[in-house]
Structure 1
Amino acid sequence: MTGRTTAPIPRPQRGAGSQWERYGWLMAVVWLVFLVYPVMALLRSTAAQAWVVTGWVALGAFVVIYVAGFVHGMSLGGGGLTTPPKPIQWAAFGGLIACAALAVPAAGGSALSFLPFIMSFASYGLTRLAHWVTVSVCIAITAMIVLAVPGGMAYLSVLAILVMLAVVNTVSTTLIIRSDEAERIGLELATSEGREAVARDVHDLVGHSLTVVSLKAQLVRRLIDSDPERAKAELADIEALTTEAIAGVRATVADVRTAALAGELVSCRRALHAADITLRVEGEEAALSPAQSLTASWILREATTNILRHADASTVTVRIAPGRFAVVDDGRGLTGAEGNGVRGMRERATIGGAALAVGAGDGRGTRVEVTW
């Protein structure tokens, strides 16, 4: 008898699906074929009948506990390795050790075939400390039997297998732990990026809307005596803008807001018109893909906000072509360092897989151009 066995508990992949959860236990069962050695030893055992019966019961219980422990950890996220193990896992681990010990009187040295299963259970289902302690104890016990017990050299192959399995389990679990840490860090980064994206969205929405509301409020103050009807119309626009901004912020926080270029052109045209700025559009919105249109709409919104705040322009031209989108004004041009608005546009362009260029317009003013 050589007791050859390699019995790691396979770690299921996250999101493996119902088919894995339904049939994955078969992988645990396959490894049990290596328990044929204690089975053969029990069949040939010359121990007292009571010990033989105990050995068979222990072997059967070992199989049940091992498979049940595997299924529990696979389908219920039983913990261990990357999360604290649950009490039931420690109970299962103790049960495996007890079953192996009860089989020794009848199976003799063949009971060493239980050790690879115990090692793997500790490595994948318990803590890192449990892994190292179990590996060390199992290898030490087997080495003592090989070196100190008469005929122990027959189990040298078991010792070699345990050493190789210890190395494999150590490397495998280390990679799993590092992968889990990388996934956790990635999730934290994604969460941070998501928060920054929401902050940009809220900044763009509120900044743009408040700028337009401020301009319209100034216009209402000038018109309230000379042209009350137009003042009322502007007040209605202010009410509509604030309602739209509130709805936009709520939808952005819920991550369900989408921006369409056509709708943004209408909104920006209205805002520019309130400031006596003419908007011209060259090209068709259909020249851009839906994804490009989304990025362009955000760039247009921020560019319009900057024009209203800083440009002192009379005309704004929007140029649309396949893979290209530009907003050009005839205002005072670039002055000073880039502000938050331009940085926000660069970030949005990068997220959309585009490049943003900000420079001089046609003779004067500013040109904001996005290319894919």
Structure 2
Amino acid sequence: MSQDMSDDKLPQAHGAGEGHGEVAAADNPFADPGLPPHEPRRTDIDERAAKRAERQVSLLFIVSMLATVGFIASYVAIDPAKIVYIFPLGHISALNFALGMTLGVALFCIGAGAVHWARTLMSDVELPAERHPIEADDEVRADVIQQFKTGAGESGFGRRKMIRNTLIGSMALVPLSGVVLLRDLGPLPGTSLDTTAWKEATPTTPIRLINVNTNLPMKAEDIAVGSLTFAKPGPSALRPDGLQESDEDFQQVIAKSALMLIRIQPSDIKDAKSAALGFEGVLAYSKICTHVGCPISLYEQQTHHALCPCHQSTFDLSDGARVIFGPAGHPLPQLKITTDASGYLIATQDFDLPVGPSFWERNA
């Protein structure tokens, strides 16, 4: 019985083999099923449904415009230091959250509106297209142009004015978000780039120099010849307690007002103007490099050279802090100092030059 069953299977296997050979030899073994019959959408046959879809698309574009306006309003109105609790994110910056949400909604609504428009109102008829060489001939180019015109007409872009106008409005407003963010590149021109906290110092209302390490006022004898000391502004009319690290704007103020003091033998000072701005060989220069604003903290005692650690700009502090090496474009600004009746070092005016890197309104 086992032999009979094997014999029964053999003819079937042989027949299957012949059938497989016939299929393999065929030029087109699978029939082209073609495109399924087109089924109209509700919006294709019901004008009320089409109008409703048009209003939905326009609403999405309008929401995008409102979100962009909300982005700009949030940037202007919300304090960058404000922290809020948002579940489940926890404590986060209120400004960052508002900017992220409004910009996200603006971009999402443009995309969602375009997709909804395409799925409900634009033509959904499928057209087969044969593959062709990459380079198109004149006939194909003319056909593409014609198809573009046909597609533009079928999209209803010219006929459905509500969608067209709201789309243009939302697309025009979204780039304003990026324009507004340019404000964070730095202070506005002509506002605070050319002044520091030392601007309050005058001969009648001087500002004392405060040692940043001891937080105490300094005397000339406290600075040894060949030493380097860092200082900050002391009490003034606007800051009765002086500049403190607990101040909300401490980083912004110290970034421009940081001071380095050196003491050189008066006979070694080469620049007469620099010597006149100092006191008994004590010279006060801006600590901010004039290349890209790095803090200078390296001093060569024998050569009187100050070196910026970022890009190796080198300044000769005995010769008006002129640049002798590196990419910096101009010398370090110098602060005019003297002493008060108690012998403490004081400033009587702001730096002689704008502090930090060059900018578009700087003359020196």
Q: Tell me the TM-score normalised to structure 1 length.
A: 0.28
Larger radius of gyration: 2
Q: Tell me the TM-score normalised to structure 2 length.
A: 0.28
Instruction: Tell me which of the two structures has the higher relative contact order, counting C-alpha pairs closer than 8 angstroms and 6 or more residues apart.
Output: 2
